[in-house]
Amino acid sequence: MDSTPQDARRRRLLFRARHRGTHETDLLVGGFVASELAAMDEAALDELEAVLELPDVDLFDWLTGRRPVPEEVASPLLSRMVAWSLAQRGVPHG
């Protein structure tokens, strides 16, 4: 990557995604971000920053399908994260 402000932002977001606090959530969130980050535009990066502010316990439950994502935090990016996470585990989503 070049040394543009956008690239620095992407590196910072990837680090945050991989170092959340719980190993399991690090793997799920970090794996999704690593696979999708290059294709994200500024709006998606803003959305990702909001998702990264959510509590680990909640994210883990949503990404593993234990609980549905509440309407007040639902977003297209979070829906893609859930679908990606479930697909990684071989769980049908829909």
SS3 string of the chain?
Answer: CCCCHHHHHHHHHHHHHHCCCCHHHHHHHHHHHHHHHHHCCHHHHHHHHHHHCCCHHHHHHHHCCCCCCCCCCCCHHHHHHHHHHHHHCCCCCC
Report residue 18's pLDDT band, with 50, 70 and 90 as the boundaries. Answer: very high
Report residue 5's pLDDT band, with 50, 70 and 90 as the boundaries. Answer: confident
Q: Which residue has the tokens 């949503």?
A: 62
What percentage of residues in the chain have a pLDDT greater than 90? 82
Domain range annotation of the chain: 5-88
pLDDT of res. 1: 45
- Between 3.40.50.920, 3.40.50.720, 1.10.150.250, 3.30.70.260, what CATH number should domain 5-88 receive? 1.10.150.250
Q: Model confidence over 24-35: pLDDT tens digits?
A: 999 999 999 999
Residue 93 vs residue 5, higher pLDDT:
5
Q: Model confidence over 59-78: pLDDT tens digits?
A: 999 999 999 999 999 999 99
